[in-house]
Amino acid sequence: MNIFVIALSEVKRTFKNKVVLFLLIIMPVMMVALMGYALAPFLNPNETKSIEKFNVLYVNHDDGEIGQRFDTLIKDEGSNYFNLITPESDDVGDEMISNNYDEAIIIPGDLTEKVKNFEEINIIHLSSGDDKMKDSMLSSFVQQFVKSVNHEIAIIKVAEQHQVELDMDEIRENIQTTVTVHELNDTLTINSFQFFGASMLIFFLLTSSMGLGMEITNDRNNKIFTRISSYPVSKNQYLLGKTLGNSIISILQAISVIVLTHILFKVNWGSDYVGLALVVLAVIFISSGISVIFSSMFKSSKTLSTVLIVFYWMLTFISGAFTPIPAFEDISKFILNKWAFESITSFMRGNPLIESIHYIALLIGLGVILWLLGVYLYRRRGSNE
């Protein structure tokens, strides 16, 4: 129970300090605004580059109903984006290389057959990988069709098993097969506000958790810790209470940054809220661990905050989160900011959690290591001595 008493006191004291509150909530939003506007020309390719129609080698080996459906779809809705080219030879791959085509689609001959047998279908999408925008657009288009057909198959299969009669036209209507330009754009790149929304969120989460280290150091110096320890409160309860309090503040900060940047700058944070929450919590977990370690190393909270702020600035700078720096591209792969940044921007692009799970695992793993070290140092240091 004392853990919550200490945690709530932390939150209360923070909210009473107007300067701290300003730094926690307004500063990140201001930074997103400043850097978002200042670096917009360098980071907003969608604003300067329109999506032009591009050539796609297209082979349809399926004469059945499903092959025809895809044919209609790509020639109708896809006509705004793709010039369909019929390959001259059978080897599509060779032709892609020889004629410099970036993308190709091959419809297997057994597509309709597979549907009849209630088997999952797939359409072959070949990409040179040279143009991520084209790759992403075509991939979205194809995948959306494949997904809708596979949904149909699944529904029919289940209906048959349970002997239910189906109105297939209605089902098809409910399964979206259209792909809009707006959705395609969203999957491609992030804009400058998204870029700095993500990078500033990570940076300020790191710096706000720094408060934990400063609190521990201050409490030790002004004997608040001694006093708290004279009550029935163990050292672990104290640390957990302080960590919980600071984590609540950091979570509130993250929510306010996400909501305010969405309202003010229309930052699209994606729809994977679980993933976003996981990254936020992992960053708070890591920075709390760092704070505990540093609080055991430094006697003064001023020294601690100075060292940590320089440390976090360096991490953020090297990770390319202030502005992408090609020289640091390789080293940035080992920086926690980069892992968190890549995860958040992946969600912004509409990618599922699974695509960032390796980064999140790295973040949590690092957090566990830092906390183990932090707790060891914290317990070793006789804080009242």
- Taking CB under 8 A as the rule, does residue 187 contact another protein? no
- Taking CB under 8 A as the rule, does residue 236 contact another protein? no
Q: Is residue 29 exposed (0-12), middle (13-18) or buried (19+ Cβ within 10 Å)?
A: buried
Strands 82-85 and 124-127: unpaired
Q: Which two tokens stand for residue 24?
A: 């926690």
Q: Least distance in Å: CB of 372 to another protein?
A: 22
- Asked if residues 273 and 357 have their Cβ atoms less than 8 Å apart, the reply is no
According to CB under 8 A, which one of 228, 267, 286, 340 is a site residue for another protein? Answer: 228
- Asked if residues 190 and 349 have their Cβ atoms less than 8 Å apart, the reply is yes
- Taking CB under 8 A as the rule, does residue 380 contact another protein? no
Closer to another protein at the Cβ: 16 or 162? 16
Q: Which two tokens stand for residue 91?
A: 């080897």
Q: Least distance in Å: CB of 232 to another protein?
A: 4
Contact range with another protein by CB under 8 A, out of 55-63, 73-81, 224-232, 242-250: 224-232
According to CB under 8 A, which one of 234, 236, 303, 306 is a site residue for another protein? Answer: 234
Query: How many whole angstroms separate alpha carbon 345 and alpha carbon 315?
Result: 18
Contact range with another protein by CB under 8 A, out of 12-20, 22-30, 34-42, 126-134: 12-20
According to CB under 8 A, which one of 73, 233, 240, 373 is a site residue for another protein? Answer: 233
Contact range with another protein by CB under 8 A, out of 115-123, 231-239, 345-353, 372-380: 231-239
Read off φ and ψ for residue 79, nearest 5 degrees: -65, -20
- Taking CB under 8 A as the rule, does residue 18 contact another protein? no
Q: Least distance in Å: CB of 293 to another protein?
A: 22
- Taking CB under 8 A as the rule, does residue 300 contact another protein? no
Q: Tokens 């521990």 belong to which residue?
A: 216
End-to-end alpha carbon distance in the chain? 26
Task: Tell me the sheet residues that pair with 127.
Answer: 103
Q: Least distance in Å: CB of 235 to another protein?
A: 10
Find, among 381, 372, 25, 376, the residue nearest to 219 by Cα: 381
